[in-house]
Amino acid sequence: MASQVELANRALDKLGELPIISLDDNVKAAGVLKRMFAMVRDDELRARKWSFSIKRAQLAADVEVPVYGYGSQFTLPDDCLRILSIFNFDIGPNLSDYNAGMSQIYVIEGRKILYGRPIPGGPPPSVPMPLRYIARSEDTTQWDVCFNEAFACRLAMEACEAITQSDSKWQKCAAQYQAALGKASRANAIELPSDTISDDSWVMSRLRG
């Protein structure tokens, strides 16, 4: 378990800089890291399906309905960075480029999920919508230890120019980031069940062949 300051200091260690006591310290390094911390965090969390940041929710339908095309709409949670599944439909490849695919069941527009095209056996538009998603995990003490190292490397890489102006240090941090990210991704993948990828039109073309 690591605090924001511990992660920031890990990044500073990689840059050969002195540690800080707080992100509010009146030193350049603290200001740089504080300014970019949340943006880099959200980018790293959204990029992959980290198990520690997965959440589930039941969304109530909005009172307001879409102007046309769909029967209801749902507002995404404030901490939602990336949708993984809606009802039983995973976000991923599908047959929408071949014929009526799941893109007709719902669509994501801004911070809304528009839903309601009729499908055989599908839930009615007004029922609560089960949502599985990647959340903005702000409590760093809940992060995976391997992710911590990858994040610290990414933070060091992003802060390198502003703090050191050293190309060689940036290259070193970038290499460390790729190595740490690979290790974290492998550890995360072992703990997650395998995904079943939806068929797309390539499968249909193979069947016809």
Same domain, 44 and 59: no
Taking residues 132-136, report their average pLDDT: 97
Instruction: Please report whether residue 200 resides in a domain.
Output: no
Residue 187's domain comprises 4-50+144-191
Q: Does the pLDDT value for residue 209 go beyond 80?
A: no
Specify whether 64 is located in the same domain as 45. no
- Would the pLDDT of 186 be above 90? yes
Higher local confidence (pLDDT), 8 or 191: 8
Is residue 125 assigned to a domain?
A: yes
pLDDT tens track for 66-93: 888 888 899 999 999 999 998 866 665 5
Query: Given the DSSP bridges, would you call strands 112-115 and 106-109 parallel, antiparallel or unpaired?
Result: antiparallel
pLDDT at 202: 47
* Beta strands 129-135 and 112-115, pairing class: unpaired
Nearest CA to 132 out of 43, 45, 49 is that of 49
Whole-number pLDDT of residue 38? 98
Decide if pLDDT at 94 tops 60. no
Q: Is the pTM of this model over 0.85?
A: no
Of 101, 111, 134, which Cα lies nearest the Cα of 64? Answer: 111
Cα separation, 44 vs 23, whole angstroms: 20
In the chain, how many domains are there? 2
The reply to whether 44 and 10 lie within a common domain is yes
Same domain, residue pair 11 and 79:
no
